Amino acid sequence: DWSSDVCSSDLTVPPTIWTSLDGTVKPGDKISASVVRSGTKYTLKVTDSTTSGNSFSTKQTCAASTCKNESAEWIGERPGINGGLSSLPKFGTWTASSAKVTGGGKSGTIKSFSDDEVTMEDTSHHVLAQPGALNSAGNSFKDVWKRSS
């Protein structure tokens, strides 16, 4: 599950399945997303339990040489506008929870794999959003808004 207080969100999946819910996610929406791979076919399913218009499913193909089935990501990003980046909406805190991965012959939570925490900064190195530590189960973390730009 991914609980969101943002106005825009991106789901990072294989390149041919990039999807955005620009402007339709509202504070308090509860969104779950999954990507299931079968060979070179990927199915992305997004369910917003509070705003039904945000729920969808798509199937795409991605060559094994491009989509190597080697990583999973939970990312909060600021929206792009006309080839640049917008100010980061004041989203408060969003939480990734119940996060699990099955891939490359291995299954588990985020902490079952090597993981990197990435802090969102602007070009002057001001922190815009700060991810927190994984919980003890290794399947949840919070991302906290710090500033717009």
Closest-CA residue to 95 (of 81, 114, 110): 110
- Residues 6 or more apart whose CB falls under 8 angstroms from that of 61 comprise 16, 40, 41, 42
Burial 24-56 (b: 16+ CB within 10 A, else e): ebeeebebebebeeeeeebebebebeeeeebee
Distance CA 9, CA 11 (A): 7
Question: Consecutive 10-residue runs of the chain (149 residues): their mean pLDDT?
Answer: 34 46 69 84 86 84 81 79 84 88 82 88 92 94 93
Give pLDDT tens digits for 127-143.
Answer: 999 999 999 999 999 99
Model confidence, pTM:
0.73
